Chains A and B, each alone.
Chain A
Amino acid sequence: MLRILALLALLAPLAAGATDAATSAATIVKQGNGKGAAPCMACHGVDGGGMEVTGYPRLAGLDAAYLQRQLDDFANGTRANPVMQPNASALSEDERAALAKYYSAMSPPARFAKPATTPDAAGERLATRGDWSRELPSCVQCHAPGGVGVGANFPPLAGQPAAYIEAQLRAWQQGTRHNDPLALMQHVAKQLTPQEIQAVAGWFAAQPLPRKEGAP
């Protein structure tokens, strides 16, 4: 019985793939859309897990509404990025929605379940306790214990490449990224020193991502 359930869980994304939108999402991921959008997997990996060295973020298993808003924001220029802006702009609104659904339905690769490695004490302290003398809540107060993310507005940080988290924190700090609700991230990031950005990014990058129930 369990095997059948597991098999059904495996097949669920494939069944969804029967619809046109999802089929086109799978095609765009592998081949691009033929209208200027590059294949997503070239940077975000065949398994949607991103690339640690280059700092390309994991997309597999992220919230669909979050992913879609980021794609929309890249497309309309609200979120600036030299690689993603042209790609998102070359996608239709339906394609962006389909890709967001596609990646949110994907399980994070098994390697993200690895146990945490040598957490940095300063990074851990900021992540789990913050520093209220600077009105700095702990990161996990919004991004959930372990940084696994909450809903459509607080994306997971656990297991994201340290280079990606650092780049985002610097972008919030400098105001080059400003699509955060209530300017929460801009305000928080402005309090951080370069050393703290590095430490806290490293801590979250080292956190394990619990496997979703029913994942293979």
Chain B
Amino acid sequence: MKSLPLVWFGALALAACSHPAPEAPAAAKPAPAASVAKATSEPAQAKTLPAFTPPAEADIPTGPLGDEIRRGMAIFTDTPEHAHDYVGNGLSCSNCHLDAGRLANSAPLWGAWGVYPQYRKKNGRVNSFGERLQGCFRFSMNGKAPPLDSDVIVALQTYAWWMAKGAPAGEKLAGAGYPKQGFKPQQPPDYARGAAVYAKDCALCHGADGQGQQVAGRHVFPPLWGPQSFNWGAGMHELDNAAAFIKANMPLSRGGTLSDQDAWDVAMYMDAHERPQDPRYAGDVAATRAKYHDTPMSLYGTTVNGHLLGSGTAK
């Protein structure tokens, strides 16, 4: 394992070059090595994005529309309880979208609503907001996609729509998504350093074993890997997403206190643990990596500590 951090970017870039992705969406994507180098040399986005403040919860209207908005909020903040047919793990939407989906730099719903429909490289087609939510259930919730006209999707859409009321449609807003732009580690992320950060700043809540903590059968602190966490198809398994989320928001209430390097190292540590299989599994790990995870931001299909990630046997 010790050699991995040093050769990390190079080795994965080589692997990417030797297996050109066959399908159009992946081919349209720049080669990973090039995209990393390009992003590193580019300064953070200079133009100022429009700011937005979502309406207050106290302003949720009364009546049937307000009821649906509140139902969406309830699903969002306690997903296993209110959408149990579609959830296959111990997570809730609000674990990664803090403050019930309202918090800037925590992928707020008001930042997402207005930028759909959107073409997504992940599936090579234009996705509606509802289809994007279906992806959350399939990957981040390790469950199954609720039908587009289901109560769950309609309620979540209504909640997101309400939260984005007054925001300019079709524009990227300040605080949307996780702050990934220009956020790079000085050194390649390192598992051993990440383990030290985890023990010091994360294990208090998420447990030394990463399985979170439960009270009365319900997760109070979310599991970060293992069978009750997000699967290998979820965005959070990619290092840049995880590092940006962690830097901006962790430890809870102390966002921005970890160094950039610590955030990347601990993101790598978290994402170098085994988790549920990618539901698009293509028969073997190498083929699945080539088809869906051909980026240095994914450790799927790489070997860390002698374990082939994605092969499903390690804890």
Contact = CB atoms under 8 A, between A and B. Distances in A.
A186 B252 CA distance: 13
Contact of B220 (A135, A136, A144): A144
A187 B254 CA distance: 8
Given A132-B102, A132-B103, A142-B205, A148 B215 contact: yes
B120 interface: no
Contacts of B213: 150-151
B222 to A, nearest CB: 11
Interface string A144-159: 1100111101000000
Contacts of A153: 204
A137 interface: yes
A184 B220 contact: no
A188 B221 CA distance: 18
B253 A184 contact: yes
Contacts of B251: 182, 184
Interface of B: 57, 98-100, 102-103, 201, 204-205, 213, 215-216, 218, 220-221, 251-255
Contact of B100 (A129, A144, A182): A129
Contacts of B100: 129
B167 to A, nearest CB: 17
5 contacts: A135-B253, A135-B255, A136-B253, A137-B253, A145-B220
A209 to B, nearest CB: 12
B220 A142 contact: yes
A149 B102 CA distance: 25
B212 to A, nearest CB: 10
A109 interface: no
A130 interface: yes
Contact of B57 (A129, A135, A141, A188): A129
Nearest to A181: B204
Nearest to A191: B253
Interface in A48-96: none
A151 B211 CA distance: 13
Contacts of A137: 98, 252-253
Contacts of A187: 253-254
A92 to B, nearest CB: 28
Contacts of A210: 216
A184 B252 CA distance: 9
Contacts of A188: 253
Contacts of A135: 253-255
Given A148-B216, A182-B201, 6 more contacts: A132-B99, A142-B205, A142-B221, A145-B220, A150-B213, A150-B221
Contacts of B103: 132
Closest 5 pairs between A and B when the two form their complex, measured CB to CB: A132-B99, A144-B215, A144-B220, A137-B253, A150-B220
A77 B8 CA distance: 47
A132 B98 contact: yes
Given A132-B102, A142-B205, A148-B215, A182 B254 contact: yes
Contacts of B252: 137, 141-142, 184
Nearest to A210: B216
A151 B252 CA distance: 17
Contacts of A151: 213
Contacts of A145: 215, 218, 220
A188 B103 CA distance: 17
Nearest to A153: B204
Nearest to B221: A150
Nearest to A151: B213
A175 B2 CA distance: 42
Contacts of B102: 132
Among B205, B251, B253, the one with the most A-chain Cβ atoms within 10 Å of its Cβ is B253
A132 B57 CA distance: 13
A148 B217 CA distance: 13
A135 B257 CA distance: 12
B221 A184 contact: no
Contacts of A144: 215, 220
Contacts of A142: 205, 220-221, 252
Among B103, B201, B215, B254, the one with the most A-chain Cβ atoms within 10 Å of its Cβ is B215
B17 to A, nearest CB: 43
A150 B57 CA distance: 27
A184 B250 CA distance: 12
A210 B215 CA distance: 12
A102 to B, nearest CB: 23
A203 to B, nearest CB: 17
B113 to A, nearest CB: 19
A129 B253 CA distance: 13
Nearest to A141: B252
